[in-house]
Structures are given as C-alpha cells and as structure tokens.
C-alpha cells in the first residue's frame, strides 16, 4: 500500500494515497475524457516528486486541469535509455517518480518499458496505478467471440516485415489487437485484408472516449468501402480488432451504410436528438448510439 494510505475493515483505502519515497509509479492517464482518471492516479500525480512524461505539453494540460504545479520532464522513445539512468539515480536519492504516457497505460506500445526494466534491475519498487488502456477499452465494447487475444501493437512500417508478422498469426485461434495512426490506417486495413480471409470480422474502434468516438463492425473485405464512404473515418487514433477465425458477422456493411445515409439525410433537416429518434424507430438500433453518430454528422456539416 502506498505511504499515507490507510485501510478500513474491508481493505478499501480510507484516505488519499501519497507517493512513497524511492518508488516508481506507472500511472495510466485518460485516452481523451479527463473524467476517466482514477482517484488514486490523481493522488500519485499530486504527490510525486518527479513526473516523467512522453510529451510534456500533453501532460501539462492534464496537470493544469488537476491543479498540479509539478513541471513534467520529458521521457520519449528517443531519450528513454538515457533518462532511465537519471530516474534510477533520483529514486535511489529517495525521490518518488510517476511515469505517464500521452494517453492510456505507459509501456503498452508507448515509452516506459526501458525505464521499468532499469528500475526493477536496480531493485527499486515499481508500482502500477491502473486505468485507461485503449486496447482493453476497445475489446470490452467489441463483443468479440474469441477467448484469446494477441496484442500486436503497431504493425511494422516495412511492407515485408508487416506481411511476415501477419502470416505468422493468420491461423491463430485468437483475436488480433492492433494500434494504428490515421495516416496509416487505410494501408494497414488493406494489409490485413490481403493477409487474412476476407470474411474475418473487423472492429474499428476510433477516438475512444472522445467526442467523435466510433466503434464499427464489418468484414475485412468490406473495410475499404467503409472507409471510402466517409473521409472523417480516417481521422483520429485507432484500435483495430480482427476476431478469431469463424466468428459470425452481423449485418452487412451495405445495411450499415444504409443507416448512415438515412441518418445523414435526417440531420440535414432535423436537430440531432430528433434525427436519432426517427432513425431508431425506423431501424430498431439503439437511440443513444444513433444520437452520438448524429452529433458527429451535424458537426461535420457545419
């Protein structure tokens, strides 16, 4: 238990946590919605002597929102090896250090693993402060049939290396979990469609927890048409989920595109809330999901 925390009879912390001297805290931060930050993460960020951040500008916004005056120090892929040595020295001197990435959990396709290895090798405590993780958030909302997951992170940029990796997992009885950036998402989806059977189920999770969050399901063969239908679908940060072989596919992409066209026509004439009610009545789809989509469409039309 972190220094400063006490527990009641049920084991739950009764007071705020405080970062213990000489400990490294790996702190998960929100993907987009700042309300997703845990209470314990707030306590640790507010009490740590040092905050090591992937991008100090991004973390600075979060810290200012929380009223935390500590100035973060940079720790990114280009300086992580050198910065790890400094962090070990500060920990040995009795300082507490919080490690954060721009969004989500550090060291999950983000900087942090080198620092954690160095700190553990030095015999210094490493304390996880769990919270948001894009991969797990996407899986939780995807309704996958797979019992197992293969987390691939970002695929290699080189075409040959990407093909070899996908070939090695093509027959795995597991869902594939992939991170992707907007400028590469179309190429990655095309590579998936070329390497895997076209009937494999793909779930595209885009801009999780943010204003234009989208979670869409289609087959790999249908994916190109889905992106082609709306240029906005290439924007944002992505988690791509390919379900295990044999997973059943729900409605066809043509049916989903019909819903998109209906809702787009409605929001041109009606407020988003009313457009969502009409679309829900016509399609039987959840009104809340249609309302979120209507808001995004209305914003795009402005």
> What's the mean pLDDT in 19-48?
97
Please determine, for residue 302, whether its predicted confidence score (pLDDT) is greater than 90: no
pLDDT at residue 134, rounded to an integer: 97
Q: Please write the tens of the pLDDT for every residue from 250-263.
A: 555 555 557 778 88
What is the set of domains in the chain, with CATH numbers? 24-132 (3.40.1010.10), 133-249 (3.30.950.10), 251-302 (no CATH)
pLDDT at residue 257, rounded to an integer: 55
Please determine, for residue 10, whether its predicted confidence score (pLDDT) is greater than 80: no
C-alpha distances in Å from residue 256, one per residue of 33, 67, 216, 264: 27, 44, 9, 12
CA atoms within 13 A on the CB side of 167: 6
Classify each residue of 88-97 as buried b or exposed e, where b means 16 or more C-beta atoms within 10 Å of its C-beta. Answer: bebbeeebbb
Q: Please write the tens of the pLDDT for every residue from 101-114.
A: 999 999 999 999 99
pLDDT at residue 294, rounded to an integer: 84
Tell me the chain's radius of gyration from C-alpha atoms: 22
Please determine, for residue 300, whether its predicted confidence score (pLDDT) is greater than 80: no
88 within 8 A of 122, measured Cβ to Cβ: yes
Rounded CA separation 284/278 (Å): 10
pLDDT at residue 26, rounded to an integer: 98
What contacts 124, CB < 8 A, 6 or more positions away?
22, 23, 24, 88, 91, 92
> What's the mean pLDDT in 237-248?
92
- The model's confidence at residue 284, banded by pLDDT at 50, 70 and 90, is low
Q: Please write the tens of the pLDDT for every residue from 64-91.
A: 999 999 999 999 989 998 999 999 999 9
Written as six digits, the tokens of 103 are 């969004």
Rounded CA separation 220/51 (Å): 41
Q: Please write the tens of the pLDDT for every residue from 144-168.
A: 999 999 999 999 999 999 999 999 9
> What is the average pLDDT score of the chain?
89
pLDDT at residue 9, rounded to an integer: 47
Written as six digits, the tokens of 160 are 């040959």
* Higher-pLDDT residue of 77, 17: 17
pLDDT at residue 50, rounded to an integer: 98
Please determine, for residue 95, whether its predicted confidence score (pLDDT) is greater than 90: yes
> What's the mean pLDDT in 196-206?
94
Written as six digits, the tokens of 156 are 């290699």
């Amino acid at each position: 238990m972190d220094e400063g925390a006490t527990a009641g009879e049920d084991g739950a912390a009764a007071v705020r946590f405080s970062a213990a001297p000489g400990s490294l805290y790996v702190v998960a931060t929100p993907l987009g919605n700042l309300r997703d930050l845990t209470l314990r993460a707030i306590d640790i960020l507010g009490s740590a002597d040092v905050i090591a951040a992937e991008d100090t500008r991004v973390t600075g916004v979060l810290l200012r929102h929380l009223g935390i005056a500590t100035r973060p120090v940079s720790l990114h892929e280009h300086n992580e090896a050198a910065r790890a040595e400094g962090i070990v020295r500060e920990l040995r001197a009795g300082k507490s250090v919080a490690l954060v990435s721009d969004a989500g959990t550090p060291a999950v396709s983000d900087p942090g693993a080198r620092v954690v290895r160095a700190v553990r090798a030095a015999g210094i405590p490493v304390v996880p402060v769990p919270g948001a993780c894009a991969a797990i958030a996407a899986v939780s909302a995807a309704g996958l049939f797979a019992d197992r997951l293969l987390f691939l992170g970002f695929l290699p940029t080189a075409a040959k290396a990407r093909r070899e990796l996908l070939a090695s997992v093509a027959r795995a009885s597991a869902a594939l979990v992939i991170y992707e950036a907007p400028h590469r998402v179309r190429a990655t989806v095309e590579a998936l469609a070329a390497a895997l059977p076209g009937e494999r189920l793909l779930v595209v999770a885009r801009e999780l927890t943010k204003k234009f969050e989208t979670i869409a399901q289609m087959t790999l063969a249908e994916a190109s048409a889905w992106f082609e239908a709306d240029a906005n679908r290439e924007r944002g940060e992505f988690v791509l989920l390919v379900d295990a072989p044999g997973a059943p596919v729900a409605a066809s992409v043509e049916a989903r595109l019909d819903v998109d066209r209906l809702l787009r026509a409605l929001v041109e004439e009606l407020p988003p809330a009313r457009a969502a009610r009409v679309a829900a009545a016509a399609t039987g789809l959840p009104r809340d999901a249609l309302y979120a989509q209507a808001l995004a469409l209305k914003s795009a039309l402005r």
